[in-house]
Amino acid sequence: MQILVAISFLIAGYEDVKERLVSDLVWIPALVGVVFGLYYLRSELLVLVVPIALIGAIALGAAWYGFVGEADGIAFVLVIAGIAPLGLVPGMLEVFIGVLVALGVHVTYLYLRGMVGKPRVIPIAQFRKEANWIPRALIVGGERKDVVKDVNISRESIDAVTDETATVEVQYGVPTVAYIAAGYVAYVVFLAIFQSGALFSLP
């Protein structure tokens, strides 16, 4: 189960870093693993489903209202589903540490390069070419107009602009799914090294 979830996270993390877009298809191995795992542990189904449903509702609600990307919401749910059978609290701690390390290293690198920490204005052609920017405002003829804050549709609103002289006020869009993927894969590696019996005893 955990290995199938990890496979999905590896692919999703790569797509997130490269394109900032994650195909829904990459989650198929994880979903297969979770469904099979819940069936295998059906005697504990209620105990497992409650935290998955609770975190799932929060994460998907945040995605619905545009606070996080849709792939981010799915990733949060699958992390909970992937760690719940072997202990929710210790698993969450191990994943969280992995996420913090990945986040800290990457954001430090971005800060040293001047990519984060201050607003940037870039030509609309550059914005369209580079997927790692989140738009905050559109500037046309010196007039600044805020864009919608929903991260799932804000980019589409800029793509619809036809004035090629426009510029876009942006912030760097960190690859959240990639950070979560790093944390989850680190968790699975930890299990393989120190708790291999528990890891391979599950489907």
Whether residue 83 is found in the same domain as residue 150: no
- What string of DSSP letters covers 119-182? -EEEEHHHHHH-TTEEEEEEEETTEEEEPPS-TTTHHHHHHT---TT-EEEEEE---HHHHHHH
Q: Per residue of the chain (203 residues), give pLDDT as tens.
A: 889 999 999 999 999 999 888 999 999 999 999 998 888 877 787 778 888 888 889 988 988 888 888 899 999 999 998 887 777 778 889 999 999 999 999 999 999 988 887 789 999 999 999 988 999 999 999 999 999 888 778 888 898 898 999 999 999 989 999 999 999 999 999 988 887 776 666 55
Q: Which residue segment(s) compose the domain that 164 sits in?
A: 120-172
Whether residue 98 is found in the same domain as residue 183: yes
Q: Which parts of 20-87 fold into alpha helices (H)?
A: 28-40, 45-64, 70-83
CB count within 10 Å of CB 147 equals 19
- Total-model pTM: 0.86
Contact call for residues 73 and 60 (beta carbons, < 8 A): yes
Whether residue 129 is found in the same domain as residue 166: yes
Contact call for residues 120 and 173 (beta carbons, < 8 A): no
Whether residue 65 is found in the same domain as residue 132: no
Whether residue 109 is found in the same domain as residue 130: no
Whether residue 86 is found in the same domain as residue 12: yes
Whether residue 132 is found in the same domain as residue 106: no
Whether residue 47 is found in the same domain as residue 94: yes
Whether residue 46 is found in the same domain as residue 102: yes
Whether residue 187 is found in the same domain as residue 96: yes
Number of domains the chain is built from: 2
Whether residue 12 is found in the same domain as residue 77: yes
Whether residue 69 is found in the same domain as residue 20: yes
